[in-house]
Structure 1
Amino acid sequence: MKNMIDDPTRVPAGVVTYRRISGLTLIEVLVALIVLSVGVLGLAGLQITSLQYSQSSYERSIAVMQANDLVERLWAGLCDPDADFFDDGNVNVDEDPIDAIKDAWENDHTGLPNWDATLDDDSSPMIQLTISWDSRVDDDETESFEHYFRLPRIDC
């Protein structure tokens, strides 16, 4: 009978052999790296999209604040003794007082890039205010915001 120590095919119990150490091959590491990089690129794309929507929301918020500011200025101008906003009982947006208030309002606001505002009273008694601007997210896109309001006929 052979001695167990002399037989290289038999390992005695409790002896650890270091012949077959298992580990990762280079291909497995490369595949794991590719999977990880695809995941990181996906997260980067989500972050960019999130920033774009955040910028668009910020611009729309500025447009809403500008619209509310104009409406408040027009309401405050109703009691101006020199202003005559009404023509035959309806508001006329082409009257001088409204133009003067709108011009002052346009000069006070610079938050949106290349913005423009129009007042339209075709849908009397409602007045339509449209604010349009160039989007900072997409250079070829123009965004707009429409706000409808009415000016009451009051005696001051």
Structure 2
Amino acid sequence: MEYRIKQQGFTMTEVLVSLVVSVTSLLALGKAQLSSLQHATNSFYYTVATIQAQNVIERIWPRICDIQRQPARFEDVNFRASLSQGMPSGFNPILPNTYQDTMPITVTWQDGRIENQNSVSLNASFPHLCQA
């Protein structure tokens, strides 16, 4: 009579293979989560920059008649500084050097984790509403 011993449990090789597969999967999930957080943060910065660009446009409106009558007022250092007043640190507005009725308003920010150019640009359009 021949007796066979039935195997009870897993062999060491099976345990090591399953451990390698599990660790690899967990590392991949961790990397995906980190990448997701980086892009979520950049998306938040994009939203903040969009709001700040809109704020710059809104700050131009109260003085639009003066600026359209005398475009040199747009170049005034104090006026340009007032356009970025209250802007969070790290966000920088970029304005054209001279006034135009249609012009881009760009806000940039630094985020070293994302290699794309970090900027938002809105096209502002100011119709002539005031009499000369």
Scaled by the length of structure 2, the TM-score of the pair is 0.79
- Larger Rg belongs to: 1
Q: Deviations over 1:107-133 (max 9, x none)?
A: 21115x2x3222117794311112122
- How many correspondences in the alignment? 131
What is the deviation of 1:87?
Answer: 4.8
Identical-residue share of aligned pairs (%): 21
Return the structure number with greater helix share: 2
State the match for 2:109 in structure 1: 133
**1:71 aligned onto 2:57:** yes
Length-normalised TM-score, structure 1: 0.69
4+ runs deviating over 3 angstroms: 96-102, 121-125
Superposed CA RMSD in Å reads 3.0
Deviation at 1:20, TM superposition (A): 2.1
- Are 2:101 and 2:127, in contact at CA under 8 Å, matched by a contact in 1? no
Question: 1:135–1:141: 8 Å Cα contact kept in structure 2?
Answer: no
Instruction: Name the counterpart of 1:32.
Output: 18
Instruction: Please give the residue correspondences for 1:6-155 in structure 2 after superposition, counting only pairs within 5 Å.
Output: 9=1, 19-78=5-64, 84-87=66-69, 92=71, 94-95=72-73, 99-111=77-89, 113=90, 115-120=91-96, 124-138=100-114, 143-155=118-130
SS at match of 1:117: strand
* SS of residue in 1 equivalent to 2:84: helix
Structure 2 unmatched ranges of 5 or more: none
Q: Could you tell me how far apart the structure 2 residues matched to 1:57 and 1:41 are?
A: 24
